[in-house]
């Protein structure tokens, strides 16, 4: 039996593929390379092979679009799929405001295509990549899973709508097992430096931008806002190492296999750090290469956002282990390897 990873060559998918392969699972990936590179396939195999011999039977990659129902049926026909982890989707908030129809088409229709195939081939277990963005402006901190939801942009709404679709699918078929994972802010890279976050174009997110300043690709970081109501005036987020996050998916999978029904989990560390905390931690590992200036607040940003992670700890037996310094160190290592500075 295999686990199907949609978007499995992307940032979080590739780290999860490594963890799954190393734990003895067989993995099948579908990815259309819209935000990833085929070289990641080789790198996943290379890392996983350090723990286990990986053959074409253990790790298969299909390049194509999840909305292509013929391809999806072919994948389910050619492989014995036991569970699916659904990462595939477009994820840039700003872009989603400019191209809402593209976001709705890609994120919603790919999910429908997947759910139809799962239904046809009687595959019952699904992990879905949701986001803390579904909480919008939460009324208090930390954020619990039962807080009110409400997104403020098309990307966030695709996540909310998909969560609703999954709840309806479960209401109609209670033999389904679905884990909706709401990620907080994934950063960091694999210790090998072979896989990490490498967005196309100018990064929207903080960490890849910092990494490019540290390696000389950009002159300085703009810190959006230093007048927030936080300990140093810059915005606070719950940063979680991508390897910890990947391990959370294995725990969720284990839970699904015990027939848990539909469950929602926050995946974060439960601790908030400011933009300046992150920059200072990064500077301590790269030798003070990250110059910054303060710039106006970014529209739509909240001042503070961090998770309560008790549910994941109690029910999945999962907690994040890596600290901020490790997140910075692994990100820098990945960026240096990529820019061949080391």
- Give the footprint of ligand UDP on this chain (CB under 6 A): 185, 204-206, 209, 221-224, 235, 237, 275, 298, 301
Angle made by CA atoms 147, 149, 155, in degrees to the nearest 5: 140
Tell me whether residue 155 is one of the annotated catalytic residues.
Answer: yes
Residue list 38-67, contact with ligand NAD (CB under 6 A): 65-67
Q: Is 177 a binder of ligand NAD (CB under 6 A)?
A: no
Residue list 120-139, contact with ligand NAD (CB under 6 A): 129, 131
Tell me which residue has its CB nearest to ligand UDP: 235
Q: Is 87 a binder of ligand NAD (CB under 6 A)?
A: yes
Residue 127 · residue 45 · CB < 8 Å: no
**Which window, 3-11, 140-148, 224-232, 290-298, contacts ligand NAD (CB under 6 A)?**
3-11
**Which window, 11-19, 208-216, 282-290, 292-300, contacts ligand NAD (CB under 6 A)?**
11-19
The least distance separating ligand UDP from the CB of residue 173, rounded to whole angstroms, comes to 33
Task: Find the binder of ligand NAD among 3, 4, 9, 61 (CB under 6 A).
Answer: 9
The least distance separating ligand NAD from the CB of residue 115, rounded to whole angstroms, comes to 14
The least distance separating ligand UDP from the CB of residue 220, rounded to whole angstroms, comes to 10
Give catalytic residue positions.
155
């Amino acid at each position: 039996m295999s686990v199907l990873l949609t978007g499995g060559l992307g940032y979080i998918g590739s780290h999860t593929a490594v963890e799954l392969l190393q734990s003895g699972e067989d993995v099948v990936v579908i990815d259309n390379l819209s935000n990833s590179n085929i070289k990641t396939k080789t790198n996943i195999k290379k890392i996983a092979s350090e723990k286990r011999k990986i053959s074409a039977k253990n790790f298969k990659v299909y390049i194509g679009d999840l909305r292509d129902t013929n391809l999806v049926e072919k994948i389910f026909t050619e492989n014995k799929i036991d569970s699916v982890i659904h990462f595939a989707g477009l994820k840039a908030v700003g872009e989603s405001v400019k191209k809402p129809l593209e976001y709705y088409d890609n994120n919603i229709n790919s999910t429908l295509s997947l759910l139809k195939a799962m239904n046809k081939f009687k595959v019952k277990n699904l992990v879905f990549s949701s986001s803390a963005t579904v909480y919008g402006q939460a009324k208090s901190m930390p954020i619990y899973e039962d807080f009110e939801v409400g997104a403020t942009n098309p990307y966030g709404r695709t996540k909310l709508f998909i969560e609703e679709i999954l709840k309806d699918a479960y209401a109609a078929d209670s033999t389904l097992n679905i884990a909706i994972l709401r990620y907080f802010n994934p950063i960091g890279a694999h210790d090998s430096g072979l896989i990490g976050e490498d967005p196309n174009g100018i990064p929207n997110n903080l960490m890849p931008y910092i990494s490019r300043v540290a390696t000389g690709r950009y002159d300085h970081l703009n810190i959006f806002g230093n007048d927030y109501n936080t300990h140093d005036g810059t915005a606070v987020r719950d940063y979680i190492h991508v390897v910890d996050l990947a391990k959370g998916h294995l725990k969720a999978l284990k839970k699904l296999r015990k027939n848990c029904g539909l469950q929602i989990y926050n995946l974060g560390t439960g601790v908030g750090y400011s933009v300046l905390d992150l920059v200072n931690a990064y500077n301590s590992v790269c030798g003070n290469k990250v110059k910054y200036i303060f710039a106006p607040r970014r529209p739509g940003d909240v001042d503070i956002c961090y998770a309560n992670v008790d549910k994941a700890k109690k029910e999945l037996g999962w907690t994040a282990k890596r600290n901020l310094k490790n997140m910075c160190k692994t990100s820098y290592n990945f960026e240096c390897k990529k820019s061949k500075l080391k």
